A and B are shown apart, each in its own frame.
Chain A
Amino acid sequence: EIVMTQSPATLSVSPGEGATLSCRASQSVSSYLAWYQQKPGQPPRLLIYAASARATGVPARFSGSGSGTDFTLTISSLQSEDFAVYYCQQYSTWPPLTFGGGTKVEIK
């Protein structure tokens, strides 16, 4: 099983500032990595797939990078609607499909 580790667990950011979220895989997942955003009381929403491709309708301030074992989700200039929990998911080797533990981006 590929274990996904996200850091930090919580990130405090002021609106308008940027945020960098990390995701590390226990073994290489190539670029088979997705990022999701989840707001309270809502299901997750796909943001990024193939490590760096934005899903339909996702604003350009969200960008993904990385390959192998280390990945980054960058949010430039955080808007109020961006405060949420973000999860990475590997789909290189399954079953099982595995998610990271999440990073909560909160208002500073």
Chain B
Amino acid sequence: EEQLVASGGGLVQPGGSLRLSCEASGFTMSRYWMSWVRQAPGKGLEWVANIKQQGNEQYYLDSVKGRFTISRDNAKNSLYLQMNSLRAEDTAFYYCARKIVVTGPYFFDFWGQGTLVTVSS
């Protein structure tokens, strides 16, 4: 069974840092582009970042550029999101999601359960 399990969320003060992890099982993560997508409580979906299969390309939402870093360790079948200089508006559930394996179109064929990040003093 394919799974994506996100962890690392929690309560952090404004300006603080958190590192989210997402562990994949049941499939070979190295074959896929991977992403983080967030959802503020009761709100819609917002794409955050993408990373290519070997980690040599990353793309970010403008509002997180320079503060967040997406990375991966294919040997551990794991995806990460290092979040620095956190702001209240970063409060959200953070989902890891898999892009379809086919080269080209970027939509998500599989999502993990989210991990909640709360930025508050």
- A residues in contact (CB < 8 Å) with B: 32, 34, 36, 38, 42-46, 49-50, 55, 87, 89, 91, 94-102
Contacts and interface: CB of A to CB of B under 8 A. Distances in A.
Given A43-B95, A96-B62, A91 B107 contact: yes
B113 interface: yes
A87 B45 contact: yes
Contacts of A34: 107-108
A101 B43 CA distance: 8
B37 to A, nearest CB: 8
A44 B45 contact: yes
Contact of A46 (B47, B62, B107): B107
Contacts of B60: 95
Contact of B61 (A42, A91, A95): A95
